[in-house]
Amino acid sequence: MIELKAICKSFPGVKSLDQVNFSASAGEIHALLGENGAGKSTLIKVLAGAYTPESGTITLGGVPRIWAAPKQAQQAGIHVIYQELVLFPDLSVAENIFIGHAPRTRWGLIDRKAMIQKTEVALSQLGHRLDPRARVGDLSVADQQMVEIAKALSHDVKLLVLDEPTAVISGKEVVALFERLRRLRDRGVCIIYISHRLEEIFALADRITILKDGKNVRAGTVAEFDRASLVTAMVGRPLADLYPPRPAQTKTAPIVLAACNIHLPPRVRGVDVNVRAGEIVGLAGMVGSGRTELAHAIFGSMARTKGRVTLEGEEVPPGNPRLSIQRGIGFLTEDRKAEGLLAQLPVYANITAPNLTAYTRLGFLRRPQEVALAARDIERFRIAVPGPTSGVWHLSGGNQQKILLSRWMAIKPKLLVLDEPTRGVDVGAKAEIYRLIRALAAEGVAVLLISSELPEVIGLCDRVLVMKEGRLMGELQAEALSEESIMTLATADAPAQGEAA
């Protein structure tokens, strides 16, 4: 269906695509993989008409094409769903799907009855039920994704591109999304799927193309790859190097965090957690199990209604994040863009934000000290950024996460709570973040890690606590960790007795 040959695209000082070849057929799901900076986004924007290549050819359905604007590509049946959904929250589902091409009456007015009927048809093709009149801003992220896909169907989509569609969903929502993508594939739609979650590629894709540094590395059917060969092709080093070695743990290290009988209705009900110095303890469970709410209750950004949190034996009062930071608790939020990054401020300000008193004298901030700290951490954490005064918004997800890790290391934490620390991060950057987390633990920092990626939990954690519906289902030591053992607890019918931490 689509073929790109010898595509080249450059930006000042960077050759983003260098003689790249790519092809995908009707009725297949084609995974496009590579680290951040590999050229995936640039290739997709060339495909969608947002960028014009300096050389190379694009053929759609056997016909050579040159897009002057994205609208032309869309009219030809190409639709891209970016990680940041492009929807109008105050409009209805139907209005979002048909914005710009709503059906009209013979008098030229919008035919709302026809628009609602067409919306119902588009959603039924996806096997998804939504009220066409519902306000999009009131929908879950998973439902909003279905609205985006239905919007593509309203344009008679032939080629659908999804960029990190599971970055903000998991569990049953991912299963439902995959079912609908397979349904579209079986109808003859060509789907290009971009993801950093390798298990999704093996579950969904038919073929794979891998880019690195703007060049083709390898392509083939999914059957020609395994996880190790994928990682090696993407990052240039073997899978065994992804996770740092786990040191021998002793039971004698002092307890840093002791959280007892934590209640945060309706999501957390009577949970006990403790973490020792130098220990990485994982929190696993399905979406909605209460992991994130428990993290907020420990940090104080959500006020617990019952229970006690102590840090090195000293009680931490509820609902007081400022005091938690002063006591030595850092919290890396799962949503770095909405809750973590200070998008309009430079790197140094993002790093020093939680502890400005350390950089203040006589009521004035000492910028040279802030910049000096940021310069040190840019080198220490290998952050790919021009300098401490650069912006953060356009950095890759991996570099943004490193900046946030640097932020919490600046307070010299005793406890670091990490909620989805590698969400939306490529494999190479994940390896760097894993190295940093393990290094922090080696320095004696207690780490509480929440992740929806089970290989990450298994590869990093010394101990794993599994939650379901706000309760602790059990605890697994490192030697007993497997995807099966975690999922057995995460889907059990009732809390296991005598196994809570």
Q: Is residue 189 part of a domain?
A: yes
Q: Is residue 120 part of a domain?
A: yes
Question: Average of pLDDT values for 483-499?
Answer: 71
Same domain as 303, residue 209: no
Q: Residue 88: is its pLDDT beyond 50?
A: yes
Q: Residue 198: is its pLDDT beyond 90?
A: no
Same domain as 185, residue 305: no
Share of the chain above pLDDT 70, in %: 96
> In this predicted structure, what is the pLDDT of residue 165?
82
Domain stops at, among 174, 209, 238: 238
Same domain as 278, residue 418: yes
Domain stops at, among 210, 238, 266: 238
Q: Residue 216: is its pLDDT beyond 90?
A: yes
As beta bridge partners, residue 422 has: none
Same domain as 283, residue 194: no
Q: Residue 287: is its pLDDT beyond 60?
A: yes
Same domain as 290, residue 234: no
Query: What pLDDT digit, counting tens, does each position of 121-132 carry?
Result: 888 877 778 899
> In this predicted structure, what is the pLDDT of residue 494?
53
* Pick from 325, 351, 329, 327: nearest CA to 340: 351
Q: Is residue 168 part of a domain?
A: yes
Q: pLDDT-based confidence at 29, cuts 50/70/90?
A: very high
Q: Is the separation of the CB atoms in 261 and 440 below 8 Å?
A: no
Cα distances from 227 to residues 16, 39, 151, 209, 356, in angstroms, run: 26, 21, 34, 14, 44
Structure-model confidence comparison of residues 84 and 150, the more confident one: 150
> In this predicted structure, what is the pLDDT of residue 139?
85
Same domain as 28, residue 95: yes
Structure pTM? 0.69
> In this predicted structure, what is the pLDDT of residue 500?
40
The mean of the pLDDT values for the chain is 87
Interatomic CA distance for residues 138 and 176, integer angstroms:
20
The DSSP secondary-structure symbol of 246 reads: P
Same domain as 431, residue 305: yes
> In this predicted structure, what is the pLDDT of residue 238?
66
Same domain as 306, residue 172: no
Q: Is residue 215 part of a domain?
A: yes
Q: Is residue 345 part of a domain?
A: no
Question: Average of pLDDT values for 15-44?
Answer: 90
Same domain as 288, residue 188: no
**DSSP assignment of 106-120, as one string?**
TTSSB-HHHHHHHHH
* Pick from 405, 489, 407, 493: nearest CA to 449: 405
> In this predicted structure, what is the pLDDT of residue 296?
93
Which residue range is the domain that position 335 belongs to? 255-340+413-490
Write out the two tokens for 390. Answer: 């650069």
Query: What pLDDT digit, counting tens, does each position of 218-235 carry?
Result: 999 999 998 888 888 887
Q: What's the structural domain count of the chain?
A: 2
> In this predicted structure, what is the pLDDT of residue 13?
67
Question: Average of pLDDT values for 73-94?
Answer: 87
> In this predicted structure, what is the pLDDT of residue 395?
81
Q: Residue 497: is its pLDDT beyond 60?
A: no
Query: What pLDDT digit, counting tens, does each position of 165-190 carry?
Result: 887 666 677 888 888 899 889 999 99
Question: Average of pLDDT values for 434-448?
Answer: 92
Q: Is residue 155 part of a domain?
A: yes
> In this predicted structure, what is the pLDDT of residue 240?
61
> In this predicted structure, what is the pLDDT of residue 20?
95
* Pick from 304, 248, 303, 308: nearest CA to 273: 308
Same domain as 283, residue 175: no
Q: pLDDT-based confidence at 236, cuts 50/70/90?
A: confident
CA atoms within 13 A on the CB side of 393: 5
Same domain as 227, residue 291: no
Q: Report the range of poorest mean pLDDT among 72-76, 257-261, 280-284.
A: 72-76
Q: Is residue 175 part of a domain?
A: yes
Question: What is the three-state SS of 265-316?
Answer: CCCEEEEEEEEECCCEEEEEECCCCCHHHHHHHHHCCCCCCEEEEEECCEEC
Interatomic CA distance for residues 335 and 235, integer angstroms:
25
Domain stops at, among 238, 268, 283: 238
Query: What pLDDT digit, counting tens, does each position of 350-396 carry?
Result: 999 988 888 888 888 899 999 999 999 898 888 888 899 998 887 87
Q: Is the separation of the CB atoms in 316 and 323 below 8 Å?
A: yes
Cα distances from 277 to residues 11, 177, 243, 377, 440, in angstroms, run: 47, 40, 20, 23, 10
Q: Is residue 388 part of a domain?
A: no
Instruction: Read off the CATH number of the domain in which 192 is found.
Output: 3.40.50.300
Q: pLDDT-based confidence at 415, cuts 50/70/90?
A: very high
Strands 190-194 and 29-33: parallel
Write out the two tokens for 319. Answer: 């609902």
Question: Average of pLDDT values for 260-284?
Answer: 93
* Pick from 10, 33, 13, 32: nearest CA to 428: 33
Question: Average of pLDDT values for 332-359?
Answer: 88
> In this predicted structure, what is the pLDDT of residue 55?
93
Q: pLDDT-based confidence at 325, cuts 50/70/90?
A: very high
> In this predicted structure, what is the pLDDT of residue 231?
82
The single-letter code of the amino acid at 203 is A
Helix boundaries (H) for 304-396 = 321-327, 347-352, 367-380
For the chain, the first-to-last Cα distance in angstroms comes to 55
> In this predicted structure, what is the pLDDT of residue 301?
92
Q: Residue 442: is its pLDDT beyond 80?
A: yes
> In this predicted structure, what is the pLDDT of residue 170?
65
Share of the chain above pLDDT 90, in %: 48
The single-letter code of the amino acid at 220 is G
Query: What pLDDT digit, counting tens, does each position of 137-152 carry?
Result: 888 777 888 888 888 7
Question: Average of pLDDT values for 292-297?
Answer: 93
Same domain as 270, residue 213: no
> In this predicted structure, what is the pLDDT of residue 501?
38
Q: Report the range of poorest mean pLDDT among 195-199, 256-260, 306-310.
A: 195-199
> In this predicted structure, what is the pLDDT of residue 101?
83
> In this predicted structure, what is the pLDDT of residue 498?
40
Alpha-carbon dihedral sign for residues 24, 26, 32, 38: positive
